[in-house]
Structure 1
Amino acid sequence: MSESGSSEQPDVIFQELSADNNQQAPMEVESLCMNCHENGTTRLMCTRIPYYKQVIVMSFSCDHCGYRNNELQSGESVQEFGTEIVLHVKEKVDLNRQVVKSEYAKIEIPELELTIPNKSQPGEVTTVEGVLARTREGLLQDQPRRRELDPESADAIDAFIGKIDDCLELRTPFTLKLNDPTGNCYIQSPDPLHVDPRCITSHYYRRLADNKLIGIADDDDEEASEEVLADREWKSYEEAKQEVLRFHSPCPSCGVDCETCMKPTDIPYFQTVIIMATTCETCGFKSNEVKAGNAIQDHGCRLALKVEDAFDLARDVLKSDTCCVSLPELEIDVGYGALSGRFTTVEGLLQATKAQIEEQAKFFMGDSALSAGDGEGSSKSRTIQQVLDAIEAVLQLEKPTTLVLDDPAGNSYIQSLMAPLEDPKLEKTFYTRTYEQNDDLGINDMKTENYEEMKPIAEEDEEEEA
């Protein structure tokens, strides 16, 4: 390439953090030693931690007095939200996880009642084991002198060190909580391409005290008014609707931890619902469910739709857990416990109803029915087959019918094609729940006021015995 066409490539400031990376030498700066006030050497290296961010590693050493100090600072700006990471340490690999924290981070281990407050330690790159080891070394530092001057305190510290040793040997599983208002903290995942089953990361809005701590608010600033805080909470709620929340739960099929995805969404002219989906990579189990995002309504609701054409089959339907489905012309009633909550279409709900009847009818139409004397030609199998054929006729638009959703909680929905005007094919009726329906929903046992009048059952029994 000719000189006229050559151009110098810009130097890469932040190199990947790797044991084999020798491309960049640390930058050395002469600086004052705070121990002997002579000149020492500070070495700076800008690097990038894989699957995390850019950081600046600093190391100071003084040849006069031998003082040394290591520190880490984030190469990123303060994040929009604070970060809290909760790690459940149960295996050896968890002790070896890399931990990155700034000087503003707070560390807690509830099982040890241990708290390392903000700005008590410089920022550093360490491991979970290193956090405990550093605490242990700090406690052992003055133990010989402490045993002479205050034997009781020394014995208490020895007992506490024993608890730390139990955690280091994993005889006692523990929880590590890392809270950093700057948002620049990190705990390594053994498999960064998959969700970490023992580590939960959450983000939060900083309070005024947190902003003052990290220096982005004036010391004379006062907490925002309730109106401003309410506006922030509303914005946070709206932002949450745009995110898919992921958490771990045991698989209903094999019991192994699997991932559940959850997302709130708004249904036009109705309310907010929560869509949940679970997938197990171990056994292949999959399920999806819809939960109502609102409270139980004041009245029950009965929805009746005349299904006559393809547009009716394509209507959206929300069936809650407490909703009963019926097709009066076909003499079909499906209780609220048979089909779980789901957001689908009229066609999808009819197909799910058909599949549920086929599943329950295997006893009358399968091999067990033949062995019991109820074969394919029996009256039971003919009746069930007629019901299945009738549902199929409705799906093929060969036979009109009425779809009825009866929900005592009032949280079910059928899409209106003429909203906000009245739909002539959709009839909506509100009614007052019976005592039995309130009992099924647990309303009869609810007490929402005058809590001070409530007495524990044990105290009432003691008073009766007295």
Structure 2
Amino acid sequence: MSVIEEERVRGGVFKDINAEDEDQQPTVIESLCMTCYENGSTRLLLTKIPFFKEIIISSFTCPHCNWTNTEIQSAGRIQEQGVLYTLQVKTKEDMNREVVKSDSASTRIPQLDFEIPAFTQNGSLSTIEGLLDRAVAGLEQDQPIRKATDPVVAEKIEEFIQRLKKLKEVEKEFTLIIDDPSGNSFIENPFAPQKDMALTVAHYKRTPEHNAALGIEVEEEENDEKPGSDLDTMRNEVLVFNTNCPECNAPANTNMKLMILYVVNCEIWRSHRRAGNQNNLTDPSDMSRDLLKSETCSVLIPELEFELGMAALGGKFTTLEGLLKDIKDLIVSKNPFMCGDSSTADRAEKLELFGQKIDKIIAGEMDVHIILDDPAGNSYLQNVYAPDPDPEMKIEKYTRTFEQNEDLGLNDMKTEGYAEK
């Protein structure tokens, strides 16, 4: 293990971001100014934002020409899936939403046919208004040269710049789309822990083109194994390989055992079934119920107007108490907008109140319904009255919608004729 990895495990290199931590001082490096070619200074701060793992914040200042530049770069691992944020900007308050945009993310505003392609800007930690200001500054940079060499083009760009500036007044609703194959970008939900009706978050599987752009090499596996080959010897073998922990990014081991995946091909049933478990918590002993939450399972608590989408928290086997503690930890303790300059008194008060309600549920002082909704049907909640029916729990199976099948990749799945040549 390298020195960086050892420090990463101990938390010595990347510390939690905290504006009140006097020991969290940036590293200052003498650097060349690319504007006047004199020496300036670059300040590097290695820190951690819980939702985005580790980041590097850099700030360059030149005392000779007074040129400055700030950037944010991801120092953590690329996420398992890409992420697509779609925000309907309706009010001026939406312009204050914090945004983490990595350098691999593209930004689009369909109403203006405007797009900032991936890898054309460095990563940034800003607001929606800041993103628009940065786009305007980029377009205005070469305007003096355009006015001298091509006045017609300069005039059209000036008209477009004015349209971008008007967006900040939010006279009309517009859509902001951030598409990041690395999964390391983020748009703030100011209503957390409640669901944000204006914001849609979708996770997707990267294409080979995405992996190539990110510099990821994916080895193709050969599936033409025959009986009697090494495949048979692997059936009862547990494979161990090195990975990074999805929570803290520390080196860890993953155990894997070969399993068989099959598809039931029935024109009527067609495997289009999903399951939902609803449990009414009326007794503290309910907290000890075993619970299996898959990565495709969402969690709802209607009394708190709370919904945790699929892919959040990942898949885990725990208890109801453990799930609630993980939810509180994710929303309250690990929320990057609860500390430093990003924190506001109103937001902190709402999230603190949410945490107190979770504590009351765990202590049995508040009756609520816990709903596990898994489109893949791979989640489970223990029936403590088994083999008798559980009077506190309702299990419902129903047909998935087209959108849910699309999220699970079932609409494009070929279940017949795939072996034909």
Q: TM-score, normalised by structure 1?
A: 0.46
Asked whether the 8 Å contact 1:17–1:50 carries over to 2, the reply is no
User: Is this contact kept in 1: 2:101–2:186, CA < 8 A?
Assistant: yes
How many pairs are equivalent? Answer: 262
Structure-1 separation of matches of 2:261 and 2:98: 34
Residues 84 and 195 of structure 1, relative CA distance in 2, 3 Å threshold: same
Maintained 8 Å contact 1:100/1:126: yes
Match of 2:413 in 1: none
Deviations 1:337-361 (A, max 9, x none): xxxxx949xxxxxxxxxxxxxxxxx
Match of 1:437 in 2: none
When residues 216 and 185 of structure 1 are mapped into structure 2, their CA distance, relative to the original with a 3 A threshold, is same
SS of equivalent to 1:159 = helix
Partner of 2:103: 103
Deviation at 1:72, TM superposition (A): 1.0
Distance, in Å, in 1 between the alignment partners of 2:41 and 2:204 is 39
Using CA pairs below 8 Å that are at least 6 residues apart, which structure has the higher relative contact order?
2
Query: 1:21/1:196 Cα in 2 relative to 1: closer, same or farther (>3 Å)?
Result: farther
1:51-108 per-residue CA deviation (whole Å, 9 max, x = no partner) reads 5433210112334554433221113111111111112211222111111122111111
Q: Which amino acid aligns with 1:72?
A: I
The residue type paired with residue 157 of structure 1 is I
RMSD: 4.8
1:47 paired to 2:47: yes
Q: Judge conservation of contact 2:295–2:310 (CA < 8 Å) in 1.
A: no
What code does the residue aligned with 2:137 have? E
- Provide the secondary structure at the position in 2 that maps to 1:135: helix
Contact 1:105 1:179 in 2 (8 A): yes
- Residues 81 and 206 of structure 1 are in contact (CA less than 8 Å); yes or no, is this contact kept in structure 2? yes
Is 1:91 aligned with 2:144? no
Number of the residue aligned with 1:271: none
**Alpha-carbon contact 1:208-1:217 (below 8 Å) kept:** no
Structure 1 residues 120, 39: CA separation in 2 closer, same or farther (over 3 Å shift)? same
* Larger of the two Rg values belongs to structure: 1
Instruction: Output the TM-score relative to the length of structure 2.
Output: 0.50
Instruction: Quote the residue 2:75 is aligned against.
Output: 75
How big is each residue's C-alpha offset from its partner over 1:130-188, in whole Å with a ceiling of 9 and x where there is no partner? 11111112222333443344333233223222321231100121111111111111112
Alpha-carbon spacing, 1:45–1:232, altered in 2? closer, same or farther (3 Å): farther
Q: Is the 8 A contact 2:85 2:179 kept in 1?
A: yes
Superposed CA deviations along residues 359-383 of structure 1, whole A, max 9, x for unmatched, are xxxxxxxxxxxxxxxxxxxxxxxxx
- Closer, same or farther in 2 for the Cα pair 1:129/1:150, shift >3 Å? same
Instruction: Tell me the distance in 1 between the aligned counterparts of 2:49 and 2:375.
Output: 42
Asked if residue 185 in structure 1 is aligned to residue 185 in structure 2, the reply is yes
Q: Does 1:244 align with 2:335?
A: no
- Which blocks of at least 5 consecutive residues in structure 2 are unaligned? 1-9, 225-259, 264-271, 275-291, 312-368, 377-387, 400-421
Taking a change above 3 Å as real, the CA distance of residues 232 and 26 of structure 1, as seen in their structure-2 partners, is farther
Partner of 2:127: 127
Q: Which residue of 2 aligns with 1:166?
A: 166
**How far did residue 12 of structure 1 move?**
4.7
2-side partners of 1:213 and 1:79: how far apart? Answer: 14
- Cα distance in structure 1, aligned partners of 2:127 and 2:159: 24
Task: State how far apart, in whole Å, the 2-side matches of 1:262 and 1:50 are.
Answer: 18
Amino acid at match of 1:119: F
